[in-house]
Amino acid sequence: MKALVVYESMFGNTEKIARAIADGLGDVLEVTIAEARTMPSAAEYDLIVVGGPTHAFGLSRAATRQAAVEQGSSRPADAGLREYLDVSPMLTGVAAATFDTKVKQRFVPGSAASKAHRQLRRLGCRMLAAPQSFRVAGTPGPLLEGEVERARGWAAELGEAMKTERHRV
C-alpha cells in the first residue's frame, strides 16, 4: 500500500511534522512526501495525509503566506495547501487524515487541519482520524518539545489502521 504526505510549511515546523509522519507511516506503507505547491497527484495512493500551518483561523491564503515572508520566512509564498485541495479531483474511497501546526495558546479558534478535513470529506475521502494539531511556541516556531515524536506515533497508528483495514477486505 502507498501513502502520500502533502504539506505546506513557511518556517519549517510543518515540514518537520510531515517528515515525522512519513517516518511513522514508513514501517507499514510505501511513503511519498511532497510540498503542496508542487501539486502532486494523489490518484495512485491508498492514503493521503495533508497538513499545513494554521493561518488566520484556517488554511493559509496568499496574503497570510506573504505576511509570513515579511516575518522572515524564506519559503515561496505561491500556492499552498488551500490551492492544492481546491484543484484536487474527487478522491472517492481514498483513506485520508489531516494535521496542522498551531501556536500554543489557551484558546486559538480555527484549525487548518479541520478545514482540510472537511474539504477532503467533500472530495469523497474516507477519513481515518480526527484532525490533529501539533504545537509551536510562536509563529516562526520552534515546535514544542515532544511534538515530532507525537507526530511519528500518530502516523504509526494511521499505518496500523490501514493494515487492519486491508486485512478486513
Q: What is the CATH number of the domain that holds 122?
A: 3.40.50.360
Rounded to an integer, what distance in angstroms lies between the CA atom of residue 98 and that of residue 16?
15
In this predicted model, what pLDDT tens digit does every residue of 110-129 receive, in sequence order?
899 999 999 999 999 999 99
* The residue to which cell 505576511 is assigned: 67
Cβ-based burial of 102 (10 A; exposed 0-12, middle 13-18, buried ≥19): middle
Residue 1 has pLDDT above 50, yes or no: yes
- Residue 43 domain flag: yes
- Quote the Cα angle for 14-50-38, to 5°: 85
Q: Which domain holds residue 13?
A: 2-164
Residue 169 has pLDDT above 90, yes or no: no
**Cβ atoms of residues 94 and 128 within 8 Å:** no
Q: pLDDT band at residue 168, thresholds of 50, 70 and 90?
A: low
- Residue 169 domain flag: no
Q: pLDDT band at residue 62, thresholds of 50, 70 and 90?
A: confident
| Dihedral (Cα; 38, 127, 168, 153), 10-degree rounding | 70
- Residue 147 domain flag: yes
Q: In total, how many domains does the chain have?
A: 1
Cβ neighbours of 142 (radius 10 Å): 13
- Residue 109 domain flag: yes
In this predicted model, what pLDDT tens digit does every residue of 84-115 receive, in sequence order?
999 999 999 999 999 999 998 767 678 999 99
For 143, which DSSP code? B
